[in-house]
Amino acid sequence: MTTKPVNNYAWFFVLPVLAFVMFSSIIPAMTVVNYSVQDTLGANSFFWNGDTAFRALLNPTTEIGARFNDALFRTLAFSLTCLLIEVPLGILVALCLPRKGWAVGISLVLIALPMLIPWNVIGTIWQIFTRADIGLFGAALTGLGLPYNVTQNTISAWSTIVVIDVWHWTPLVVLLSYAGLRAIPDAYYQAARIDGASRWATFANIELPKLQKVLVIAVLLRFMQTFMIYTEPFVVTGGGPGSATTFLSIDLVKIALGQVDLGNGAAMSLVYYLITLTVCWVFYTIMTQLERRRDA
Amino acid sequence: MARIRLDGIAHSYAGKPESDRDYALKPLHHVWEQGQAYALLGPSGCGKTTLLNIISGLVIPSEGHLYFDDVDVTQLPTEKRNIAQVFQFPVIYDTMTVAQNLAFPLKNRRMDKALIDKRVSEIAQMLDLNRDLNRRARGLTADAKQKISLGRGLVRADVSAVLFDEPLTVIDPALKWELRSKLKSVHRALNLLMIYVTHDQIEALTFADKVVVMNDGRAVQIGTPAELFERPDHTFVGYFIGSPGMNLLPASVAGTRARVEGGEIQLGAAYPALPSGKRVQIGVRPDYAVLTTGAGLPVKVKRIADLGRKRLAYVSLGGQPLVTSVPPDMGSIGEDAKVAFDAKHTLVYADDIRVEGTAS
């Protein structure tokens, strides 16, 4: 029997991080919890409201509940659309990238470029780019006779936000997949050639299984980011036309800061947070458990 | 099933070779006969994997032609060559079961389902995999995985050849023996041409009917294990095969006698016309240089190594180090001793190449 050396000094070194997390996450989160169970009539006087805000939020027959429901549905649809485009597209691009030579560096930098642009600039770039009068994209589509108008046409607005996200974040999936593909030893491809596997069989039986781990990460990251999308619709469509692109984050800001409805805003942000957390946890657990079951 | 012929096959990884040194594999002519087991033996980086990959088509040679029977396959891609290859590290398809792994090469060639099942169960039986057929291959141990790789190599009955690229590197020593003898019996049962790359001489000598010894991109000698041991054509073979390797001593040879470090020894043949200006050496295996109480060359004994079944003496003859065997009945050995060479097994080398003697 060996005994592990125990040294409680280690806790001491964790303290700075704990302090940082305290101020960056825990205290702000608790403030939100505090707001969510109170209501105010202004003048900084708060009173106890219990779970009223939560009840209203989760009941679609109330005004706020219906609004939350719509925004939630819109956001989920947006996330799903983006994932369905970005993940296959990212893998496809990663498969097409060169494996060696001078072209590797150049193509990786070009691919990663959209991710390097500051988030607040993204919105502005696309706002101008999609304008029907002076924007290259908008003017070109209008010139082709397509009914393209980001501020008035729902389909235009929606597809523009999706295109922005695909343009901005597919590179992340590409880079992750590319790293995963590069980690596959040459012997696997050689064995596949010896075994007479077609391109598709090689992809389905070697590349995709080996990519599984990075793809779980890619899907999680992309889900969280698309589910929290804010800047792009805020700048480009302003949540419109009507409420067509009013995703949860946009609605949350409208309620909390626009209407200064702190109680409902806080309750909404907590539920929003819990949904993100739950979806990620369920997805991750299913993916990892499924593999373990099959191995046994 | 086929006979594979190499006609001046050579390869250089760095484009056009300018000198001899640019070749990873120097021009080689050889015929691999159907049904035989060959080993490619040589130190790391000697070109043996390159040669194997040329045969399987993973590498296209920069020079020469490759024939399967009488068909030129030099430029043919791997998947059209009908060849099987097993790699150094196990390659398995993660998501498939053992049975699906074994069936994969057949499925890709659109074989009949019933035929596939029959073949898979035969091979699984041969390799002791039949209990795990329905398990996922990923959860198995390294040696079971390598058995699957072997199985995928052997499952196609009509392959021209099965190539092995150091397939037992990842296997535990105890299991190595078992797998190697399994391979031998599979070879006997299937009557396939097998080419086995290794840097382990025991593996090569026990597996193969014929061994190709390679060094520095060149096939130095091709022969049976006994030939390699008794009559190495090149000093490299003498040194590389056998443990410890052959003793090589600078000498001058005249007729049937050689002068070594001031002493004279008898040779098994006459060497009347030894080319002049070349470095002449005599080579003798430790098994044929024996310490003796009778006549012999005087040596200084440095140390005795007791290997259990036999004893070896590390001695010096003049200034030259020499390994000799010690007869089992020899008692105490002092610092001064004498060594006798078996004339029949004392070979002559000029510039590292063996010189054939004439009967004296």
The full set of domain ranges for chain B reads 4-240, 247-355
Q: Are the C-beta atoms of residues B41 and B164 closer than 8 Å to each other?
A: no
As a whole number of angstroms, the longest Cα–Cα distance in chain A is 80
Spatial distance between the Cα atoms of B285 and A286, rounded to a whole number of angstroms:
65
Identify from B13, B49, B82, B91 which residue to disrupt to test chain A contact, counting A C-beta atoms within 10 A and taking the largest count.
B91
Q: Per residue, what are the HEC states of B250-273?
A: ECEEEEEEEEECCEEEEEEEEECC
**B84, B96, B138 member nearest A295 (Cβ):** B138
Q: Residue B39: which residues within 8 A CB-CB, separation 6 or more? A: B195, B196, B197, B198, B203, B204, B205, B207, B208, B210, B211, B212
pLDDT value of position B1: 60
Q: What residues in chain A have per-residue pLDDT under 70?
A: 1-2, 42-43, 295-296
Give the pLDDT of residue A85. Answer: 96
Nearest of B194, B126, B184 to residue B162 by alpha carbon: B194
Strands lying side by side in the sheet with B280-284: B247-250, B280-284, B347-350, B353-355
- Is residue A213 domain-resident? yes
Residues of chain A numbered 24-53 and touching chain B (CB < 8 Å): none
Looking at domain B247-355, which CATH architecture does it have?
Beta Barrel (2.40)
Residue A80's pLDDT is: 95
Q: What CA–CA distance (Å, rounded) separates B78 from B88?
A: 18
Eight-class DSSP state of A144: T
pLDDT of residue A78: 93
Return the half-sphere exposure (C-beta side, CA atoms, 13 A cut-off) of residue A210.
20
Q: Considering the domain boundaries, does residue A7 fall inside one?
A: no
B164 and A CB contact within 8 Å? no
Task: Tell me how far apart the alpha carbons of residues B104 and B102 are, in angstroms, rounded to a whole number.
Answer: 6
Q: Which residues of A touch B108 (CB under 8 A)?
A: 195-198, 201
Give me the pLDDT at residue A92, please: 95
- In this structure, are strands B353-355 and B347-350 parallel, antiparallel, or unpaired? antiparallel
Structural domain span for residue A247: 57-295
The string over B200-216, giving b where at least 16 C-beta atoms fall within 10 Å of a residue's C-beta and e elsewhere, is: ebebbbebbebbbbbbb
The CATH number of residue A69's host domain is 1.10.3720.10
CA angle centred on B23, ends B17 and B27, rounded to 5°: 105
What is residue A240's predicted lDDT score, i.e. its pLDDT? 75
- CA-CA distance, A185 to B91, in Å (whole number)? 9
CATH number belonging to the domain at B4-240, selected among 3.40.1390.30, 3.40.50.10680, 3.40.50.620, 3.40.50.300: 3.40.50.300
Selecting from B89, B108, B139 the residue whose C-beta is nearest the C-beta of A201 gives: B108
Type and span of the H or E element at A186: helix A186-194
> By CA distance, what is A197's nearest residue in B?
B108
Q: Is the minimum CB–CB distance between B60 and chain A shorter than 8 Å?
A: no
Question: A206, B88: Cβ pair inside 8 Å?
Answer: no
- Yes or no, beta carbons of B84 and A194 under 8 Å apart: yes
User: For chain B, what is the HEC assignment?
Assistant: CCCEEEEEEEECCCCCCCCHHHCCEEEEEEEECCCCEEEEECCCCCCHHHHHHHHHCCCCCCEEEEEECCEECCCCCHHHCCCEEECCCCCCCCCCEHHHHHHHHHHHCCCCHHHHHHHHHHHHHHCCCHHHCCCEHHHCCHHHHHHHHHHHHHCCCCCCCEEEECCCCCCCHHHHHHHHHHHHHHHHHHCCCEEEEECCHHHHHHHCCEEEEEECCEEEEEECHHHHHHCCCEHHHHHHCCCCCCEEEECEEEEEEEEECCEEEEEEEEECCCCCCCCEEEEECHHHEEEECCCCEEEEEEEEEECCCCEEEEEEECCEEEEEEECCCCCCCCCEEEEEECHHHCEEEECCEEECCECC
Contacts of B79 in chain A (CB under 8 A): 193-194, 196
In a domain, A103, yes or no: yes
Evaluate whether residue A51 is within a structural domain: no
With respect to residue A42, please indicate whether it lies within any of the assigned structural domains: no
At A106 the pLDDT is 92
Residue A183 touches partner B, C-beta closer than 8 Å: no
CB contacts of B138 in chain A (<8 Å) are 295
Kindly determine whether residue A209 and residue B94, on different chains, have CB atoms separated by under 8 Å. yes
Is the Cβ pair A193, B138 closer than 8 Å?
A: no
The number of folded domains in chain A is 1
Residue B139 distance to chain A (closest CA, Å): 5
Number of cross-chain residue pairs from A and B with Cβ atoms under 8 Å apart: 55
Across the interface, whether the CB atoms of A295 and B136 are under 8 A apart is answered yes
Phi, psi of B295 (to 5 degrees): -75, 145
Indicate yes or no: CB of A193 within 8 angstroms of CB of B136.
Answer: no
CB contact under 8 A, A185 and B89: yes
Residue B101, chain A, CB below 8 Å: the answer is no
Phi and psi torsions of B284, nearest 5°: -145, 135
Residues of A in contact with B58 (CB under 8 A): 190, 193
Residue B289 near residue B341 (C-beta atoms within 8 A) = yes
State whether A195 and B149 contact (CB < 8 Å).
no
What pLDDT score was predicted for residue A22? 94
* CB A156 within 8 Å of CB A148: yes
Give the C-alpha separation, A75 to A68, whole Å: 10
Q: Is B95 on the interface with A (CB under 8 A)?
A: yes
Please list the ranges in chain B whose pLDDT falls under 70.
1, 15, 17, 360
N-term to C-term CA, chain B: 46
A290 touches chain B (CB under 8 A): no
Q: Which residue, chain included where needed, has tokens 């050995």? A: B333
- Residue B93, chain A, CB below 8 Å: the answer is yes
The answer as to whether A19 is a domain residue is no
Q: In this predicted complex, what is the ipTM?
A: 0.77
pLDDT at position A21, please? Answer: 95
Structure tokens at B225: 């294990």
Q: What is the pLDDT of residue A296?
A: 63
